[in-house]
């Protein structure tokens, strides 16, 4: 799949998402946060195997939303 694969951009998206997840995970029940992070790791690995920046971006966006939805407001 060729949609402008850019490993540097993909790594940046994942790094930004992990920073956000790290902050939000502190406000989520630990076992739930760990399970969701495990799912993210599996899904992002698959996105990298596809070498699709579109899939990487969508996966990062999805998991950012999922973590935000679980984290109570401060």
Q: 14 lies in which domain range?
A: 7-70
Say if 2 falls within a structural domain.
Answer: no
* Average pLDDT of the residues in 26-45: 95
Say if 66 falls within a structural domain.
Answer: yes
Say if 1 falls within a structural domain.
Answer: no
Count of domains for the chain: 1
Q: How far is CA 30 from CA 14, 25, 34, 59, in A?
A: 21, 7, 6, 21
The token pair at 23 is 């902050």
In this structure, what is the dihedral angle of CA atoms 35, 37, 39, 40, given to the nearest 10 degrees? 170
pLDDT, tens digit, 9 for 90 and up, residues 41-50:
999 999 999 9
Q: What pLDDT score does 73 carry?
A: 78
């Amino acid at each position: 799949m060729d949609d402008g694969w850019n490993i540097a951009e993909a790594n940046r998206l994942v790094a930004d998402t992990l920073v956000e997840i790290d902050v939000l995970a502190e406000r989520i029940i630990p076992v739930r946060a760990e399970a969701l992070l495990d799912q993210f790791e599996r899904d992002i690995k698959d996105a990298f195997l596809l070498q699709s920046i579109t899939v990487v971006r969508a996966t990062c966006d999805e998991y950012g939303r999922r973590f935000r939805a679980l984290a109570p407001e401060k």
